[in-house]
Amino acid sequence: MFTGIVTDIGEVVAVTARADNLRRLKIACGYDRAGIADGASIACNGVCLTVVAAGVEGNRTWFAADAAAETLAVTTAGSWRHGTRLNLERPLRIGDELGGHIVAGHVDGIAELLARDDLDHMARLAFRAPPQQSRFIAAKGSVALDGVSLTVNEVEGDRLSVLIIPHTLDATTFGALRAGDPVNLEVDLMARYAARLIEKA
What is the distance of C-alpha 13 from the center of its chain?
18
Which distant-in-sequence residues (6+ apart) come within 8 Å of 59 by Cβ? none
Per the model's pLDDT, the better-predicted residue between 98 and 143 turns out to be 143
Instruction: Give the sign of the dihedral formed by CA 157, CA 3, CA 72, CA 167.
Output: positive
- 2 classed as catalytic: yes
b/e map 6-17, b = 16+ CB within 10 Å: bbeebbbbebee
Maximum CA extent, the chain = 58
Per the model's pLDDT, the better-predicted residue between 85 and 195 turns out to be 85
- 29 classed as catalytic: no
What's the confidence (pLDDT) of residue 96?
75
- 79 classed as catalytic: no
CATH fold for domain 8-89? Elongation Factor Tu (Ef-tu); domain 3 (2.40.30)
Catalytic pick among 7, 40, 41, 104: 41
For 109-200, the fitting CATH number among 1.10.760.10, 2.40.30.20, 3.40.50.300, 3.20.20.80 is 2.40.30.20
- 127 classed as catalytic: no
What is the model's pTM?
0.93
Average pLDDT value for the chain = 93
Read off the pLDDT of residues 4-34 as tens digits, 9 standing for 90 and up.
999 999 999 999 998 888 999 999 999 999 9
Specify the domain boundaries for CATH 2.40.30.20 within the chain: 8-89, 109-200
**DSSP 3-state of 166:** helix
**DSSP 3-state of 58:** coil
**Mean pLDDT calculated for residue range 52-66:** 97
**Mean pLDDT calculated for residue range 179-188:** 97
